[in-house]
Amino acid sequence: MNTHSSGYYSIDKDYNILSYNDTAKQLYPNLQPGVKCYKALMGLNSPCPPCPVALGIQGPKTYLDPIRHIYETVDAVETVQPDGSRGHALVFSTVAEGESLSKSIPTGENSLRLLGAINLLASDYMSVYGVNRETGKISVYRSRFTDAFADIKDNADYKLSFNFLIQKYIHPDERSYVSRHLNYETLLERLSQEASFKFHFRVVTDTVHYYYLLIARNGNADDYRDFVIAVACEDNDVTARKIYENQLHSLLASITHAAGYFHLDLTDDKILKIGGTSALAYKIDADASIDHFIAETAVLYRY
């Protein structure tokens, strides 16, 4: 059994990250000084269940990395900080056992970039898959769903897996739409023109759920070998948006007799709607930025 040095980071007594090396940063892009290590590494709100620091484990211990699906030896060494408080330095090394496992160790820039992208997505998305461009085989890096996407298995064929998902779970009104987006040849062609894209759809299980997929290539258009599919459920976002839209429509209905009203989108810096009984309101340029809108309004209503 051999080990290959992979990375290092240090934390204080409260699990705040103090420092790290370049390899650790490549593997875990969310590493930042002052951020909790469990939040940066796994997107958790408390220490990881096997954390050697939390469990008080002395000396190196080998774990199965849930993201990379390979074994890693982690050694947590207690340190003393300049202020006298205690912290830990964690060194993690990939364990290679035989040729097949050795091949999975991230040694090249492309592999590190893929793992970095996966780890970054895994903190925000419920499921994350990698797909080999040449073989069409799926690698399951994270799967937290128990319904539709739970049927997607490691090393499965992309076309068979997603065709099954579309026919069994996608809302009938959107099957054709989703099929076009997930068609393998069409998808590869699109990724040759843009680095990533996102689309929304509905899934039917016991009830209707709202999802979206983010699909991103790993590398440049002319040399990428893998692409990543990240899945998110947006039921809460859709519910919140519906509540907001209902409140907005009620508000607009209640002020239609006002001299003038303006609905502004601060995020996109644009005017969404202008209305009212005063002719002055319609002199506002509906395509203006908010800064221009404020200046123009000040001139119109100065006198």
Helix (H) or strand (E) holding 295: helix 290-300
Q: What share of the chain is helix, strand, coil (3-state, %, to 5)?
A: 35, 30, 35
Q: Is the pLDDT of residue 113 over 80?
A: no
127-132 vs 138-143, strand pairing mode: antiparallel
Q: Give me the domain span that covers residue 173.
A: 126-237
Q: Are residues 99 and 132 in the same domain?
A: no
Burial class of 238 by CB neighbour count within 10 A (0 to 12, 13 to 18, 19+): middle
Kindly state whether residue 246 falls inside one of the protein's structural domains: no
| 14 within domain boundaries | yes
The first and second tokens of residue 248, run together, are: 């907005």
97: helix, strand or coil: coil
235 or 18, which is more confident = 18
Indicate whether 64 and 136 sit together in one domain.
no
Domain assignment of residue 245, yes or no: no
Residue 17 belongs to a domain: yes
Assigned domain for 248 exists: no
b/e per residue 125-152 (b: at least 16 CB within 10 A): bebbbbbebeeeebbbbbbebeebbeeb
Domain count, the chain: 3
**pLDDT band at residue 100 using 50, 70 and 90 as cut-offs:** very low
Q: Is the pLDDT of residue 245 over 70?
A: no
CA angle 154, 156, 157 (to 5 degrees): 150
Is the domain of 233 the same as that of 264? no
What's the pLDDT score for residue 220?
Answer: 80
C-alpha torsion sign, points 239, 240, 243, 248: negative
CA distance 102 to 5: 13
* Residues 98 and 136 grouped into a single domain: no
What would the mean pLDDT of 179-207 be, rounded to a whole number? 89
* Residues 217 and 266 occupy one common structural domain: no
Please check whether residues 266 and 295 belong to one and the same domain: yes
Tell me the angle at which helices 158-169 and 175-182 cross, rounded to the nearest 10 degrees: 170
Query: Cβ(43)–Cβ(123) under 8 Å?
Result: yes
- Cα 217 from Cα 224, distance rounded (Å): 7
Find the length of the chain: 303
CATH number at residue 229: 3.30.450.20
Most confident of 86-95, 200-209, 274-283: 200-209
Q: Determine the Cα–Cα distance for residues 234 and 227; give it in Å rounded to an integer.
A: 22
What 3-state DSSP class applies to 122? helix
| Start-to-end Cα distance in the chain | 84
Residues 8 and 74 in one domain: yes
Question: Scanning the structure block, which residue is given the tokens 């103090």?
Answer: 18
Answer whether residue 69 is part of any domain: yes
pLDDT score of 99: 35
- Reference 115, options 213, 7, 29, 10; nearest CA is 29
Confidence of residue 281 (pLDDT cuts 50, 70, 90): low
For residue 279, the one-letter residue type is A
More confident: 277 or 227: 227
- Token digits of residue 156: 């499965």
108 part of a folded domain: no
Residue 41 and residue 50 in contact, taking contact as beta carbons nearer than 8 Å: no
The answer to whether 4 touches 93, Cβ cutoff 8 Å, is yes
Task: State if pTM tops 0.85.
Answer: no
In this structure, is residue 110 part of a structural domain? Answer: no
